Structure 1
């Protein structure tokens, strides 16, 4: 079973990844092709966090799984926004 601390740590990591991705999204929407490497790295970080959540969900209790699912939806939304941005 996943410990509360491990879930909290992962949630914090995901929030940081989302915040970073949002910053890259805003920069890309203003500067177009200037920071493609950082933009791609942010997308990769979102994907890694998404995968980490899926792994953690396997050992989580029902309450933790719900919390992880909500975070997974946020990650997907950030990822979708970045993919759909025409930069």
Structure 2
């Protein structure tokens, strides 16, 4: 059974990852490809947070699973937005060269 503390810590880590990703996304829309490392790092942190939720949900009670599920949906939705931003340094105008 997941402890309340472990769920709270996981949710906090997820919120931190989401906040960092939002900052990088905002920066990515303005500065195009100047911060590719940070953008990729933010995407990786979001993916790690999603994986942490999946693992923790296996030992969570129903209320905890619901909290984790909502956070996972937020993370995955933002993850999709990041992918769609076209922040690929090898592309120009949305098309690969």
The answer, yes or no, to whether TM exceeds 0.5 is yes
- What is the total number of aligned residue pairs between the two structures? 87
Match of 1:26?
A: 26
Deviation readout 1:27-79 (Å, 9 max, x if unpaired): 00000000001000000000000000000000000000000000000100110
Helix, strand or coil: the match of 1:56?
helix
**Rg larger in 1 or in 2?**
2
Helix, strand or coil: the match of 1:59?
coil
- Report the TM-score, using the length of structure 1 for normalisation: 0.98
Structure 1 runs of 4+ aligned residues shifted over 3 Å read none
- Report the TM-score, using the length of structure 2 for normalisation: 0.88
* Higher normalized strand content (fraction of residues): 2
Query: Which stretches in structure 1 are left out of the alignment for 5+ residues?
Result: none
Match of 1:39?
A: 39
* Higher normalized helix content (fraction of residues): 1
* C-alpha RMSD of matched pairs (Å): 0.6
Match of 1:83?
A: 83
Query: Which stretches in structure 2 are left out of the alignment for 5+ residues?
Result: 88-97
